[in-house]
Amino acid sequence: MKPDIKIFKDPDGLSHAAAKMFIESSSQAIAQRGRFLVVLSGGSTPNQLYQLLASTPFRDQIDWSKVHVFWGDERCVPIDDPDNSYYQARLVLLDLVNLPADNVHRIQSDFEPASAALDYARTLKVFSAPPLDWPRFDLVLLGMGDDGHTASLFPGSPVNASKPVIAITAQYQNRPAKRVTLTPLVFNSARRIIFLVTGATKAVTLTEVLSDVSNMNLLPAQRIQPTDGELLWLMDEAAAGKL
Ligand code: 6PG
């Protein structure tokens, strides 16, 4: 299925559009199912979106009491480490909205990675949509590295993971190597997946990922193909520069 690509002048325009989509997804999920299950992404790109969601008018358009927050991946560092994705989201969003603490489902990054992966699979099971052992997330937010990775699915990592959550060790920029990540099994059962990609450094890889040439082993972002959901790619003009 051809992905739906939306190009914005700059990260600010992209973040405002993403905030409106977040609100739309939350309102629809809460109206239909009484709750909104959302997967946040780490990395720097979503920060402006998170800041918008924590500010007026966006904050007041979400019923935070019915929102449950999860992560697509996590770096195995302490929860007060600036590299921790949960920590980053707390600073710019979670601590600034009326989200019940019990609705924050972080990956136990202080556990050994393999234990954290097992623990998170148990958390997903609590919210599962039988016959799946995990939820059909209403919205998944993802970024893309300039190497084509997404979440912590890196080039060369196992393609057909049979588990919903796995432990990974990978080097990327100066970020923590030991990680836990959801696998395409979980991502691809989501109702809506939105990639947020900005910056010229990603332009070449973005062209490769979005081409008709499948190369999932080298370009893990290509593994994100929702089975019965919507896939949106939001990018700024810099990232779209080679499309
Ligand atoms: C992480 C993310 C990772 C990120 C990409 C893009 O924990 O770092 O899961 O997949 O989305 O590396 O990161 P930037 O948004 O910082 O470019």
Q: What is the pLDDT of residue 159?
A: 67
Whether the per-residue pLDDT at 101 is higher than 80: the answer is: yes
Nearest CA to ligand 1 atom 10: 151
Residue 157 pLDDT grade (very low, low, confident, very high; cuts 50, 70, 90): confident
Ligand 1 first shell, C-beta below 6 A: 41-45, 72-73, 85, 143-145, 149-152, 175
**Is the whole model's pTM more than 0.95, yes or no?**
yes
Q: How far apart are CA 168 and CA 113, in angstroms?
A: 8
Q: What is the 3-state secondary structure (H, E, C) of 10-70?
A: CHHHHHHHHHHHHHHHHHHHHHHHCCEEEEECCCCCCHHHHHHHCCCCCHHHCCHHHEEEE
Is the per-residue pLDDT at 167 higher than 60? Answer: yes
List pLDDT tens digits, range 112-134: 999 999 999 999 999 999 999 99
| Every domain of the chain and the residues it spans | 4-236
CATH class of 4-236: alpha beta
Report which of 191, 181, 190, 141 is spatially closest to residue 161, judged by C-alpha positions: 181
User: Confidence class of residue 201 from pLDDT cuts 50, 70 and 90?
Assistant: very high
How far, in Å, from the CA of 24 to the mean position of ligand 1?
24
**Each residue of 1-26: pLDDT tens digit?**
567 999 999 999 999 999 999 999 99
In this prediction, residue 189 carries a pLDDT of: 98
CA of 100 to the centre of ligand 1 (A): 26
DSSP-based three-state secondary structure for 136: coil
pLDDT score at 1: 57
Instruction: Tell me how crowded residue 112 is: count the other CB atoms within 10 A of its CB.
Output: 12
